[in-house]
Amino acid sequence: MHPMYVRSARWVGVRGSSMPRIPWVIAAAVLAGGALMNVARVDRTNQPVDPADTIEAQAQMPGNVAAIFQRACQDCHSERTHWPWYSGVAPMHWLMAADVYGGRDHLNLSRWGRYSAEERTERLIGICEMVAGNKMPLWYYKPIHPPAQLSENDKKAVCEWVKSAVVEQSAARASVDQQIHPGDAPQQMSDAIR
C-alpha cells in the first residue's frame, strides 16, 4: 500500500483514529443535557372550575362559537388545559407552561364571571381583534394543533358573537345604572338628546 494512502486514511478516521468517538461524545452530552433539563420542573396544573363562572355560562355563547373556543382557545386560556405527552419533556415543558400561564393571566375563560363589566368588554374586543388579525392562536401553536386553525367563517362567527355580547353587556350595564340612579335617568336621556 502506498504510504500517502495510509496517512490520509488515518486522518479521516478509517484506521484506529479517535474520530469515530466524537459522535458518541456528542450524543452522550446531548442526553446528559436533556436529563439535566428535565430536573427543573414547572407545575402544570388545572385549577377546579366552577361551571357558573365560565364564559359559556356567563355570556350566552352559541354552540358554534363555543366549539371554536374549545378547539382553538381553551388549552391556553382556561383551566381545562389538555397537557399532551410532550409537555412533560424539557424544553417543551417550560415553553408550554409559560404560554399557558401567560395566556391564563391575560384571559381566563374559566374565570369569566370574576371579571368586572369593563374587563369583560375589553377582553371581548381583544378576542375579536386578535382573531381577526391572525394573532391568535399563536403561529407556533397551529402546526402542532391543526384543529386550532381558524377559517374565515370561524373568525367571522367569533367577531359577530363578540359584537352582540358587547352590545348585550352595554345594555345590561345601562339597565343597572338606571336602577341605581332612577331619578337621574330622565335627565341623562334629555342631556344625551340635546
pLDDT at 177: 57
pLDDT at 21: 76
pLDDT at 20: 64
- Each as own residue / partner, the long-range contacts of residues 37-45 (CB below 8 Å, 24 or more positions apart, any chain) are 37/90, 37/91, 38/89, 38/90, 38/93, 40/90, 40/94, 41/93, 42/93, 42/94, 42/97, 42/98, 43/97, 44/81, 44/83, 44/87, 44/88, 44/93, 44/96, 44/97, 44/100
**CB atoms inside a 10 Å sphere around CB 97:** 18
pTM: 0.69
Residues with pLDDT less than 70, the chain = 1-20, 36-42, 172-194
**CB atoms inside a 10 Å sphere around CB 22:** 10
Q: C-alpha grid cell for residue 141? A: 401553536
pLDDT at 40: 65
pLDDT at 120: 94
pLDDT at 62: 94
